Amino acid sequence: MIPAAFDYVRAGSAAEAISLIGEHGDEAKFLAGGHSLLPLMKLRLAAPSVLVDIGRVSDLSYIRDAGDHIAIGALTRHMDVENSAVLKEHAPLLAHAASHVGDPQVRHRGTIGGSIAHADSASDLPATTLALGATYVAQGPNGTREIAATDFYHGFLQSALAADEMLTEIRVPKMQGAGWSFQKFNRRAQDWAIVGVAAWRRNGDSGVALVNMGSTPILATSVASALAGGASVSEAAQLAAAEAEPQNDLNASQEYRVHLAKVLVRRALEEASK
Amino acid sequence: MMGSATGGSGSEGGSLVKISVTVNGTAHESDVEPRTLLVHYVREVLGLTGTNIGCDTSSCGACSVHLNGEAVKSCTVLAAQADGQSVTTIEGMATDGVMHPMQQAFMENHGLQCGYCTPGMVMAATSLLQENPNPTEEEVRIGLEGNLCRCTGYHNIVKSVLAAAAK
């Protein structure tokens, strides 16, 4: 399978990338690791006329301790997120979830920013960063702005990013001492989750988000509220799909997904409560 | 830098891009359509057909090569993304006619049947051992989750990788 024809330009910096995308308009797309975009282009589900390759913008590949949060450059590869000592200490849920993205070859190329900007509800890291209360930083022609993960996902593959904005950083609050769990249910190795759950608990607080339970990653706020109100893990897990609008597809019916979400949320909360 | 589009032929495939890629230690300069996939570049432009195309959807791993020493699926990398980088294919694994220890281990442990997945398995397995030189059996199985084999049931592949790690 070969993508439809396009022109290729390579940016050396975020500013140059934004300028190039502005120059080429709506038909242009950023290319980071390419592991979401290129498969779509090969299937001709996407046919941008210009690719702006940002894969060499090396100053956007970093993981830094920034005081109350960890700052992750958008072009940090999944493999580097997975192996980061800083994340293992302060946000182990994210490092662990990154180790479940695709397979090693995919993780050598795919980036956290690419995964989030692609905004696929079936991907692991949008839901995981949503559960963690992350903030994303976007850079556009007029400077940068912060977008809460809770405001970022607008629909299937739709995000709050404007056409000429580039996701540059992911900020994840430090979660020392929190219990956490990542549950990914799939039928085949390396596949997307049929349903996935990212969850953490600390004292009375918790965060639970669902993978592939709607057109966007879903924050299961009813579960967190129930736990805060004193509900047991089993009781709270019954509310797993309260915010979800799961789809029927080849892998699972809506009803099955709702069932899976309840089971996986219960397992996640049990693990996070240890 | 404004990429390296030459504005060349104006062909239907987009403006040609000039790339220089080191493959198995040899530098190559080529003008390629931007949509040229790395696997097509090594197979069709360079004639290195040891790298197989299996699923063509980044699932099966048959097309795995090393990009700067790490296994990647060359059906999901543009040749243009490999510009200025170093690529190793299965043809680059032997040294002076002597098989790489991983190739030797696959032979000694019968880590293949039809052989179609084998080049990709060897590339993924060597990359795995670079990151984890002494993996457990479970780590080998998980580490090769991006490579599908329809013949062996994986048993002798895992055995081969463990044998190579022990060498």
CB contact under 8 A, B128 and A4: no
Under the banding of pLDDT at 50, 70 and 90, the label for residue B140 is: very high
CB contacts under 8 A, B 16-75 vs A, are 17, 33-35, 37, 40, 56-59, 61, 64, 67, 70-73, 75
Q: Which domains does chain B have, with CATH numbers?
A: 17-92 (3.10.20.30), 101-166 (1.10.150.120)
Strands A50-53 and A7-10: what pairing? Answer: parallel
pLDDT band at B9; cut points 50, 70, 90: very low
Report yes or no on A40 lying in a domain: yes
Q: How far is CA B2 from CA A54, A105, A268, B8, B164, in A?
A: 11, 28, 47, 15, 44
Residues A23, A78: one domain?
no
Task: Note whether A146 and A122 are same-domain residues.
Answer: yes
Task: Examine the domain organization and report whether A71 and A158 are in the same domain.
Answer: yes
> Do strands A153-155 and A158-159 pair parallel, antiparallel, or not at all (unpaired)?
antiparallel
Q: What would the mean pLDDT of B27-41 be, rounded to a whole number?
A: 98
Chain B residue numbers touching A114 (CB-CB < 8 A): none
Last residue of a domain, one of A173, A189, A208: A173
Residue A68 is assigned to a structural domain of this protein: yes
Is A2 part of any domain?
Answer: no
Angle at A100 between CA A272 and CA B137, to 5 degrees: 100
- How many structural domains comprise chain A? 3
Tell whether A68 and A153 lie within a shared domain.
Answer: yes
> From the CB of residue A263, how many other CB atoms can be counted at a distance below 10 Å?
16
Q: Tell me if A86 is assigned to some domain.
A: yes
For residues A162 and A225, state if they share a domain: no
Residues belonging to chain A with any Cβ–Cβ distance to chain B shorter than 8 Å? 1-12, 20, 31, 34-35, 38-39, 41-43, 51, 53, 55, 79, 102-106, 108-109, 189-190
Residue A209 sits in a domain whose CATH number is 3.30.390.50
Residues 93-122 of B with CB under 8 A from A: none
Pair A63, A89 in one domain = yes
The domain spanning residue A140 has which CATH number? 3.30.465.10
A137 shares its domain with A63: yes
Residues A205 and A247 grouped into a single domain: yes
pLDDT digits (tens, 9 = 90+) for A174-224: 988 999 999 999 988 888 999 999 999 998 899 999 999 999 999 999 999
Report CB contact under 8 Å: B71, A108. Answer: yes
C-beta atoms of B58 and A35 within 8 A: yes
Does A72 map to a domain?
A: yes
CATH of the domain at A25: 3.30.43.10
Residue A193 CB neighbours (<10 A): 24
Is the residue at A162 inside a domain? Answer: yes
CA dihedral B158, B160, B166, B167 (to 10 degrees): -160
Q: By residue range, what is the domain housing residue A125? A: 58-173
Looking at the fold, whether A104 and A184 belong to one and the same domain comes out as: no
pLDDT of residue A188: 84
- pLDDT tens digits for B77-135? 999 999 999 999 999 999 999 999 999 999 999 999 999 999 999 999 999 999 999 99
| Mean pLDDT score, A139-165 | 97
The answer on A192 and A136 residing in a single domain is no
**What does the alpha-carbon distance between residue B38 and residue B24 come to, in Å, rounded to a whole number?**
14
CB-CB neighbors (< 8 A) of A53 in chain B: 3, 80-81
- For residue A35, what pLDDT is reported? 96
Which of A44, A75, A103 should be substituted to probe chain B, the one whose Cβ sees the most B Cβ atoms within 10 Å? A103
Report how many Cβ contacts below 8 Å link chain A to chain B.
108
Computed on alpha carbons and rounded to an integer, the radius of gyration of chain A in Å comes to 18
Last residue of a domain, one of A105, A138, A173: A173
Closest Cα in chain B to A9: B3
Name the residue facing A8 among B17, B77, B131 (closest C-beta).
B17
Interchain CB distance below 8 Å, A10 and B71: no
Rounded to an integer, what is the distance from CA B21 to the centroid of its chain?
Answer: 14
Q: Tell which of A115, A149, A173 closes a domain.
A: A173
Q: Are residues A160 and A224 in the same domain?
A: no
Establish if A256 belongs to a structural domain. Answer: yes
With beta carbons under 8 A apart, name residues in chain A contacting B7.
none
Domain check: are A39 and A95 in the same one?
no
For residue A78, is it within any domain?
yes
Could you read off the pLDDT of A28-76 as tens digits, one per residue? 999 999 999 999 999 999 999 999 999 999 999 999 999 999 999 999 9
Residue B127: which of A103, A167, A93 has the closest Cα?
A: A103
Nearest neighbour of B34 by CB, restricted to A6, A104, A106: A6
At B4, is the pLDDT very low, low, confident or very high (cuts 50, 70, 90)? very low
